[in-house]
Amino acid sequence: MTMISVSILNADLAHLAEVAKLVEESGADALHYDVMDGCFVDNISFGLPVLRSLRSCTELPLDVHLMVQDPLRFIGRFAEAGAQMLSFHIESQSDAAATIREIHAHGVRAGIAVSPDTSLEQILPLLSLLEKDDFILLMTVQPGWGKQSFLYDVLPKIKALRAVLDARGLPLHIQVDGGIQDVTAALCREAGVDYLVSGSYLMGAPCPAEAVRGLRGEG
């Protein structure tokens, strides 16, 4: 079954508890939490205090996406604040292997995030460091802002990564984030994605539970 992580980047953060409840009731699998530092991307979003508050509002896994310049510096603090999945960008300044080891040391699932213009070749040597149910996050928009249009040029990259994972027998997930709605979700599933991140489409849906089923291809 395709898994769904709901991004709260453009949700009503004045009512965080209600947002978390809505995500739970939708039947989604996780809550996606974008961290931006204003350096790695030209935007600033949430930090540790908000994550701690969110942790008290929901039992869903917290899927934390670090769009920051030096993710290694923050791994321990985000894990302690409640993150159960932590993805960091291969384009960041931190040593990728050390960052993966630090995430695992805190008992958290590790993800390597890849921006649209970055080649898969940069992450292939790191796949052997990942553990069962870790993931590769392929961005289907430019990182930093919500409500962007899906970049169809990423679909061949998704297919290529799925072929590599299958050929090596690696039990890893492919996650995508950006412009995910019913049509693009179907294209991603066909390309080999098994973990979809969706924000505005789900949060603005008349019936989020129906939208979640649609993203899974069940509706």
Record the pTM: 0.96
Q: Give the active site residues.
A: 34, 177
d(CA 93, CA 70): 6
Q: Are strands 135-139 and 3-7 parallel, antiparallel or unpaired?
A: unpaired
Q: Which domains does the chain have, with CATH numbers?
A: 3-216 (3.20.20.70)
pLDDT tens figures, 13-50: 889 899 999 999 999 999 999 999 999 998 888 899 99
In this structure, the number of other CB atoms found within 10 A of the CB of residue 80 comes to 12
pLDDT tens figures, 48-83: 999 999 999 999 999 999 999 999 999 999 999 999
Backbone angles phi, psi at 99, to 5 degrees: -65, -45
